[in-house]
Every structure is written in structure tokens, then in C-alpha cells.
Chains A and B, each alone.
Chain A
Amino acid sequence: MINKIVDNIEQALEGVESNMTFMFGGFGLSGIPENAITSLSQKEIFGLTCISNNAGVDNFGLGLLLQRKQIKKMISSYVGENAEFERQMLSGELEVDLIPQGSLAERCRAAGAGIPAFFTPAGYGTEVAQGKEVREYNGKPHILETALTADFAFVKAWKGDTAGNLIFKGTARNFNPLMAMAGKITVAEVEELVPAGELDPNQIHTPGIFVQRIFQGVNYEKRIEQRTVRTKK
């Protein structure tokens, strides 16, 4: 067993610097690495390029890094829920690269799988295709998209073991397994950390080979963005 455990969040974040590229798992606020984001928002690092499907809300998630103007560039598919984000984008302080969600997921997966680029039909004929090579396969035009890598990938899982194996819960899985594959250093925070051997190998979603550092997170808030319910009849 190769031990991936670190003692604390400081060890987990060792080596993060200004101007690096970071990936953050999560969809909306579901499955985001809350502990890593909070700690990064307290560090004197700036000029970051952040790859994340969304950009958090004003006072939670990546909104915390935006508030301190630590982010130079955001690479996302949908960024609609954040007023400070909007302000920085419209004033030109923040560079924003919007890419189709499926292409974002596949570009992370591809990086982790050693595939430097791939053709996809998504975005053909739109402004997303500008400057990209077009090829026809099976009578249909496709555009060339390149893999995305990061200096650090921060992911969040439900359970993990000391070997770095991860199990996700519900729809909190989303981009986490793909970004875990794509990070040069992948830092996984989990709600429950167990000794190697306690998780059933049949149930592992992300094998530990994709994870360099793992720790048990604390104080998960798990905020709900849109609380929708029905009433019992």
C-alpha cells in the first residue's frame, strides 16, 4: 500500500503558489472541496487560473477566492449565481473562458488518460469553435478540443482510505473523479477516512493511483443552492 495520508490541511496544500492552475470538483455547491477552498482563501496566493464547472456563490465555494481577488482566470461552463463574479467579469478584472460542460468533463478525463486532444460535435458552428480545427466524421462536423491539466486538483469524496481510493455519494461525484485524474497533484478531502482494506475494492470509484494526498475534512456545510420540496399529502 502506498500511503497518501497527510496530517493536516497545511500539508495537503504544500506547494501551492501564485499564478498556478487549480481544478476544483463539484457541480454548483454539491461535492465541492470545502476545506481546501477555505484554506486557499486564507493564503496570500493570487493570479490563479481556476477550472471548475461553476464559480460558487458570493460567500461560499469559489466565491471566497473571488472576494479576495485571488482568481485571474476562470474556466467554467456556467457561472450564473455570483454577483461578485459578474462585477469582476464585466469590469474586465477577471478573464472568463466558457466551455461546454461535456467538453469540460472530457478535457479533464482526456488529460488524465493521456489523450492530448479529441474531436467532439459540441460547439460546432458556434463561437466556441472559433480557431479550432474542424473535421467531419460519419458525415458530421466535429471540433478539436485539447486536454486540460492543472498544477493541483482539489476534489471531495464521501469516503476514502489511506491508499487514496475514493467513493463518492449521490450527484456529488460529478467532476471530481475526472479532475482527480487530471491534476499533477491531486488533493482529496473526504468526509470519512478509513484504513486501507476497509473499503470494498469492488465499490471504489476513483482508484488511489490518481490521488497524491488525502485527508479527512471537517465542518462540512454542504449548502443547498435551490431547495425544492413537495408537501406530503
Chain B
Amino acid sequence: MALDKNQIAQRIAQELEHNTYVNLGIGIPTLVANYIPKGIDIEFQSENGVLGMGPFPFEGEEDPDMINAGKQTITTMPGAALFDSATSFAMIRGQHVQLTVLGAMEVSENGDIANWKIPGKMVKGMGGAMDLVASADNIIVAMMHTNRQGESKILKQCTLPITGVNCVKKVVTNLAVLEVTKDGFKLLERAPGVSVEEIKNATEANLIIEGEVPEMNI
């Protein structure tokens, strides 16, 4: 069975390292916060100016002066800090934030990512995505393996305008976990019950497959 969005988030949460600062993008990445493994301490950064972001507020306790980068009302955790946008991107550009998880429309085998613009459609802008992908040490992409037309989003080369070059380290999709190596995508894990053949068929890029590919532990 292919994973649903929550299971993709759950698999990515297994990548979280103890005592690190993490920026989660909008969409599936936001769900990662729901699956932090026991014993792992994480501080979430939101690029509009908060470190130590907590869960959504209880009904009636929403504060218009306390939102995340998705403009959703949030709370803060004990030890949180607030700051301006230049300081926030200093944390990002300066690689003080260790991990960025974000969504994508396409990822290519050299680690390029496209996630901000579709030619001919209304362009909303890149927000902080270009700053995030240009600088983070570790970038994990959370996305569906194929688009709505069933076409692979895992490509030899991106076809859409790119957001950043040579930056993605890992991709977790509804079908597989892939690592971006200098030789291309390496298939690390399969979704439970999904065969290597099915993954190959859904992937335009070449896959490096070494021995038996294990199932994800979800």
C-alpha cells in the first residue's frame, strides 16, 4: 500500500535528530511535528520569526500576533524566541537551522528542486523557499511520487523553473525513500507492499538499487 500524507510525515519524523533546529514547510511537512519520536528534542523554526513553535492554540485562545509562515495561528513552547525576518533568515542562511523539510513539484537526480512556479499559471512567489534550499545542510523533500496526471515527479532533470540547485538530500514519497547521491537517486526503502518494479515504473529518473530493498517501518 502506498503511504498517505500522514504516513509520509511519520516516515520523515524518523529522520529527526535529537537536539536540532528544524524548519517545516507548508503541507505534508507541517504534519511531521505530530510524529516526533520519544526522546528526541526538536525546536521548530518558522521563518516569519519564531523558534520553539508549539501546537495550534485551543479554541478561543488564537492570537493574531502569533502565526507561522503558513499564516496559521500557533502557540509557543517554553524556551521559545521571537525575532525579525532578517534574524530569521540569518539562522537559515547561516546554517544554524539543521534540517529543512519541504514539499516539491519536481526533484531531479542531481538534487535540484522545483516547487514555486508553473509557467502559464498564477505565480504566487517563492516565499522563503529559495533561501531555505540554498543554505540548509540537510534538506528532505516530502511529496507524492507522481503528479495528478500520474507523471513522475522524480526526474533526470527538472522541467519547471527551479527553486535551488544540488540541494535535496533525501526524498520521501508515498512509494519510496530515495537518497540523492552523486550518481543519482538511490532507492533506500519501499512503502509496505509496494514492489521495486512498481517504484521503477512510477519513476522517470534512473534508480540505483543495491541488493534487497527493505520496506519502510511505519
- Assess whether A171 is in contact with B128, with CB atoms less than 8 Å apart: no
Bound form: Cα–Cα A175–B128 in Å: 13
For chain A, the bracket of interface size reads 35 or more
Contacts of A229 in B (CB 8 A): 56-62, 73
Of A15-23, A77-85, A146-154, A193-201, the one touching chain B: A77-85
Bound form: Cα–Cα A96–B60 in Å: 37
- Assess whether B58 is in contact with A232, with CB atoms less than 8 Å apart: yes
- Assess whether A100 is in contact with B71, with CB atoms less than 8 Å apart: no
- Decide: A174 near B62, CB < 8 A? Known: A120-B93, A123-B130, A229-B56: no
- Decide: A171 near B66, CB < 8 A? Known: A101-B89, A102-B93, A178-B84: yes
A173 interfacial by beta-carbon distance below 8 Å: yes
Q: Which residues of B, 73-111, contact A by the 8 Å Cβ criterion?
A: 73-74, 82-86, 88-89, 92-93
- Assess whether A80 is in contact with B86, with CB atoms less than 8 Å apart: no
Bound form: Cα–Cα A1–B99 in Å: 46
Of A38-46, A211-219, A220-228, the one touching chain B: A220-228
Q: Which residues of A, 85-105, contact B by the 8 Å Cβ criterion?
A: 86, 89-90, 96, 98, 100-105
Contacts of B69 in A (CB 8 A): 27
- Assess whether A100 is in contact with B64, with CB atoms less than 8 Å apart: no
Residue of B nearest to A141 (CB): B165
Cβ 8 A contact of B165, one of A125, A223, A224: A125
Cβ 8 A contact of A172, one of B65, B89, B129, B134: B65
B126 interfacial by beta-carbon distance below 8 Å: yes
Interface size on B, residues (CB 8 A): 52
- Assess whether B163 is in contact with A79, with CB atoms less than 8 Å apart: no
- Decide: A124 near B165, CB < 8 A? Known: A30-B64, A31-B65: yes
Bound form: Cα–Cα A125–B55 in Å: 36
B193 interfacial by beta-carbon distance below 8 Å: no
Bound form: Cα–Cα A223–B93 in Å: 31
Cβ 8 A contact of B65, one of A109, A125, A128, A170: A170
B123 interfacial by beta-carbon distance below 8 Å: yes
Bound form: Cα–Cα A121–B68 in Å: 24
B72 interfacial by beta-carbon distance below 8 Å: yes
A160 interfacial by beta-carbon distance below 8 Å: no
- Assess whether B85 is in contact with A175, with CB atoms less than 8 Å apart: yes
B70 interfacial by beta-carbon distance below 8 Å: yes
- Assess whether B73 is in contact with A121, with CB atoms less than 8 Å apart: no
Contacts of A9 in B (CB 8 A): none
Q: Closest CB-CB distance, A172 to chain B, in whole Å?
A: 4
Contacts of B162 in A (CB 8 A): 125-126
B131 interfacial by beta-carbon distance below 8 Å: yes
- Assess whether A176 is in contact with B131, with CB atoms less than 8 Å apart: no
- Assess whether B122 is in contact with A101, with CB atoms less than 8 Å apart: no
Contacts of A225 in B (CB 8 A): 67, 71
- Decide: A98 near B58, CB < 8 A? Known: A170-B66, A225-B71: no
- Assess whether B135 is in contact with A77, with CB atoms less than 8 Å apart: no
- 20 A/B residue pairs, CB under 8 Å, sorted by A: A30-B65, A78-B125, A79-B124, A79-B125, A80-B124, A100-B131, A102-B47, A122-B130, A124-B164, A125-B162, A126-B163, A169-B65, A170-B63, A171-B48, A171-B82, A173-B49, A174-B49, A227-B72, A229-B73, A232-B59
Sample of 15 further A-B pairs with CB below 8 A, known A78-B127, A100-B128: A79-B124, A80-B122, A90-B122, A96-B123, A98-B126, A102-B92, A121-B93, A123-B134, A128-B126, A128-B130, A172-B64, A173-B83, A174-B48, A228-B62, A230-B58
Q: Pick the 9 closest A-B CB pairs, nearest first.
A: A102-B89, A102-B131, A80-B124, A170-B65, A125-B165, A105-B85, A100-B130, A222-B64, A78-B125
Point out residues on B near A: beta carbons under 8 Å.
46-50, 55-74, 82-86, 88-89, 92-93, 112, 122-131, 134-135, 161-165
